[in-house]
Homo-oligomer: A and B are copies of this chain.
């Protein structure tokens, strides 16, 4: 059986044609992906289907949503050791203001955050804006 199908079935996602294609697309991309990105790539497909495909991937835990501050939701497949399903996936995201791309920075964890008395943290979103490695080496 195909490796893509395996990924989906291991996560209780029925491997339909569209889902396999979207999964492959996401696997090949190195940067976080918006619905519009997917839509442009699969020009013939319907936006709603793609939207719901991405939503399913997030719900089933193979992908996570990224709010990078641009106002456009991005998605990225989870690493093997990712635990976003418990809503505490604490890696940070970097948004390059030059090439406009957003990436997961999984090498470094978010440092512990100090909060005032009686505040309880459940989740942290850390987005760093700046210039990415590719843009800096041009």
Contacts and interface: CB of A to CB of B under 8 A. Distances in A.
A2 interface: no
Interface residues of A, number: 34
Interface in A91-125: 92, 94, 97, 105, 107-108, 111-125
B120 A130 contact: yes
A116 B127 contact: no
A28 interface: no
A125 to B, nearest CB: 5
Contact of A124 (B117, B127, B131): B127
Interface of A: 67, 69, 71, 92, 94, 97, 105, 107-108, 111-133, 136-137
